[in-house]
Amino acid sequence: MMTATIEAFFHNPTSTLSYVVYDRAGGHCAVIDSALDFDLSSGVVSTGFADQIIDFIRSNQLSLDWILETHAHADHLTAASYIKSKLGGKIAAGHHIDDVQATFESILGMEDDKADGDHSRTRFDHLFQDKEEFSIGMLTAAVIETPGHTSDSVTYLVNQNAFIGDTLFMPDFGSARCDFPGGDAKQLFESIQRIYALPDSTRLWVCHDYQPGGRELKYQTTVAESKQDNIHIKGETLESEFVQFRSERDKQLNVPKLLYPSVQVNIRAGQLPDAFIKIPISKTF
């Protein structure tokens, strides 16, 4: 089996991990979950972080086959379209991104896109089905649908490496929230069972690390470690326990600072709106 080589990049402002997965011999790669720099106060969008990824791909003379999203992120803006404009490659996500697009287009009044015949759905080059296989050069990859945090969440399995998005975090940080539109704690439990059904030695690569207690950055664990140590869900945790815990906890969480900017850009595969980002208001009086 061809070995997958993995390079991780940490986006400090949003605690996001982006990965370049590549087949060193063949010189092909995929980017998983990239990020733009975005200053909420000024609205300035910049590409310092994405440029580090681009520089890495160029300096290793890799050709970019895929720009993959594990889900429509709610806390950072994807650099997928920017990276594609520099290096080519196909932007892809799970096909349930359709549901996320429909939900947020209506919350955010993005119907203009549709009126122009320029619907956001067309901005992805490919939408994956569950269990679909694809290749990154000589590497074989597979998609596992893992909804719960969002309805479109998928895991990308490349050999013994699972890129799990926000399904699980490092064992000392637990699991992702399920209270966004389309999120569902019961579905997340079932999705985690799909991950826990992979061989114990499977390496899990997380999409965020919040460095609890100020510990050093970590972003890779295994199925065995997570089953044994994950503070929210161990191998033997019951569905009812998890769903109750997750639902209680989600009630206490604040809305992510970049929720609306992120979703607006991410359901368009990282294409920025012409001039403005919208924030829907809700009156409490």
Q: How far is the CB of 101 from Fe ion (least distance, A)?
A: 16
Under the criterion CB under 5 A, does residue 33 sit at the interface with Fe ion?
Answer: no
Q: How far is the CB of 110 from Fe ion (least distance, A)?
A: 20
- Interface stretch with Fe ion, choices 6-14, 163-171, 219-227, 235-243 (CB under 5 A): 163-171
Under the criterion CB under 5 A, does residue 166 sit at the interface with Fe ion?
Answer: yes
Under the criterion CB under 5 A, does residue 145 sit at the interface with Fe ion?
Answer: no
Q: How far is the CB of 142 from Fe ion (least distance, A)?
A: 21
Closest CB to Fe ion among 22 and 146?
Answer: 146
- Interface stretch with Fe ion, choices 8-16, 69-77, 109-117, 216-224 (CB under 5 A): 69-77
Q: In which residue are the tokens 């869900």 written?
A: 233
Q: How far is the CB of 17 from Fe ion (least distance, A)?
A: 12
- Interface stretch with Fe ion, choices 21-29, 33-41, 81-89, 166-174 (CB under 5 A): 166-174
Phi, psi of 273 (to 5 degrees): -65, 165
Q: Which two tokens stand for residue 18?
A: 């982006």
Q: Are 1 and 116 in contact (CB under 8 A)?
A: no
Closest CB to Fe ion among 73 and 268?
Answer: 73
**Sign of the alpha-carbon dihedral angle for 200, 205, 207, 211:** positive
Q: What's the order of all strands across the beta sheet hosting 28-32?
A: 5-11, 16-23, 28-32, 63-68, 90-94, 126-128
Q: In which residue are the tokens 């050999």 written?
A: 159
Q: Are 167 and 188 in contact (CB under 8 A)?
A: yes
Phi, psi of 115 (to 5 degrees): -60, -35
Q: How far is the CB of 257 from Fe ion (least distance, A)?
A: 13
Compute and round to an integer the Cα radius of gyration of the chain. Answer: 18
Q: Is 43 left (phi over 0), alpha (psi -120 to 50) or beta?
A: left
Touching Fe ion, residues 73-102 (CB under 5 A) = 73
Touching Fe ion, residues 178-237 (CB under 5 A) = none
Total residues at interface with Fe ion (CB under 5 A): 2
Closest CB to Fe ion among 141 and 207?
Answer: 207
Closest CB to Fe ion among 145 and 166?
Answer: 166
Q: How far is the CB of 126 from Fe ion (least distance, A)?
A: 21
Q: Are 191 and 153 in contact (CB under 8 A)?
A: yes
Residues engaged in binding Fe ion (CB under 5 A) = 73, 166
